[in-house]
Structure formats: C-alpha cells, structure tokens
Amino acid sequence: MSAISDEAKLTLLMADYAAAEQATGKLNVIGGSIRIVGFTEQGTTARFAVVCQVDVPSRLCPAEAAVEVILLDGSGDPVDMPGMAGKKIRFAQVAKFEKPSVQGLPMLPPAITSMHQMVLELPTGLPLRVGSPYRWSLRVDGDAEHERTLDFFVAGPPPAPVVG
C-alpha cells in the first residue's frame, strides 16, 4: 500500500501494564507477553495493555503513516464496542517518522530506525466473552498483507460444581 507499510517492522504485545516515555522512546512493561487474560466480578477482563511499535528505516524519513489497531473475534470479525452496535473496538492515529538524531552526533548509522510507539492501557479491562479467543491486528496504512497479529484468550472462573 505504501513504502512505509512495505518496509515497517511491526511489534505487538500484551502486558499487565505498559507505558511509553515519548521524550526518550523508552518502554516500561510489567507482565509482558501475556496471552491469557482473566475475568473480573465486574464483568470485564482484568486490566491489561496493548503495546504497538512501528519501526521504519531512516532512509524513508521524514514520513507519515496511519497506524491502526483493531480487536477481532475468533471468526476474524471486528468486535463492537459494548452497547454501541456498529462502532468497533479500534484505535488509530497518524504516526510521524523523523530521522533519528542524538544531540552532538551529526549522523546515526542507517541501522537505527525511526520508531513510533502506541500503548493502549485498558485499566478497567474490556467486556469480552469468557472462554473466547480474540486477536489484535496492527496495520500501517491499512495494509493487511503486512499486518502483525496477536491472539489471546479470555479465561473465566472455573465452572461451579454441579449438585444433584
């Protein structure tokens, strides 16, 4: 779809907690690489965060690209926002990629990429179905051919004992 989407390296992970420091580019992750999310008594999943990172070769900078993360159900269909049929659980923003620089250094090696990070912190979880698989999809400029996906499962409490 675009030079950015063709050459971007996409990283996608889930964690118990994550935060990105925009000024330094540092990413703080606690409980990273989870694939099973618990369910709470409030009817939502446990808190979690989705971390998205897009690395672009510096030779393509400066550039802009649309970055989109969408939640899909086990069938691959977009998941509706709770109580809002037709509105999907989707996050998108325009990412700006600039040539990486460090004060005092005239030029960095080409291997140092321009990076954009997006952290979706969901402190109250999401009202998803227990016992169901889901998938996050990360795309740049709408390019499904080069998307990165991450499958996860919503686990609920063990079934109550059957009496009688």
Per residue of the chain (164 residues), give pLDDT as tens. Answer: 789 999 999 999 999 999 999 878 899 999 999 999 999 988 899 999 999 999 999 999 999 999 999 999 999 999 998 777 789 999 999 999 998 877 777 677 778 899 999 999 999 999 999 999 999 999 999 999 999 999 999 998 766 677 87
Q: For the chain, how big is the Rg over CA atoms in Å?
A: 18
CATH (domain of 148): 2.60.40.2550
pLDDT of residue 15: 98
Q: Is residue 164 part of a domain?
A: no
pLDDT of residue 30: 97
Q: Is residue 163 part of a domain?
A: no
Q: Is residue 108 part of a domain?
A: yes
SS3 6: helix
pLDDT of residue 23: 78
Q: Is residue 35 part of a domain?
A: yes
Q: Is residue 28 part of a domain?
A: yes
**pTM of the predicted structure, to 2 decimals:** 0.89
Query: For residues 154 and 11, what is the distance between their CA atoms, to the nearest angstrom?
Result: 22
Q: Is residue 18 part of a domain?
A: yes
* List of residues 6+ apart from 78 with CB closer than 8 A: 70, 71, 72, 88, 89, 90
Q: Is residue 115 part of a domain?
A: yes
Q: Which residue has the tokens 């159900």?
A: 73
Q: Which domain holds residue 138?
A: 3-154
Report how many domains make up the chain: 1
Query: For residues 32 and 34, what is the distance between their CA atoms, to the nearest angstrom?
Result: 6
Compute φ and ψ for 48, nearest 5 degrees.
Answer: -160, 170
Of the candidates 77, 32, 39, 67, the one whose C-alpha atom is nearest the C-alpha of residue 148 is 67
The burial class, CB within 10 Å (0-12 / 13-18 / 19+), for 15 is buried
pLDDT of residue 59: 92
pLDDT of residue 96: 95
pLDDT of residue 8: 96
Residue type, 20: A
Q: Is residue 77 part of a domain?
A: yes
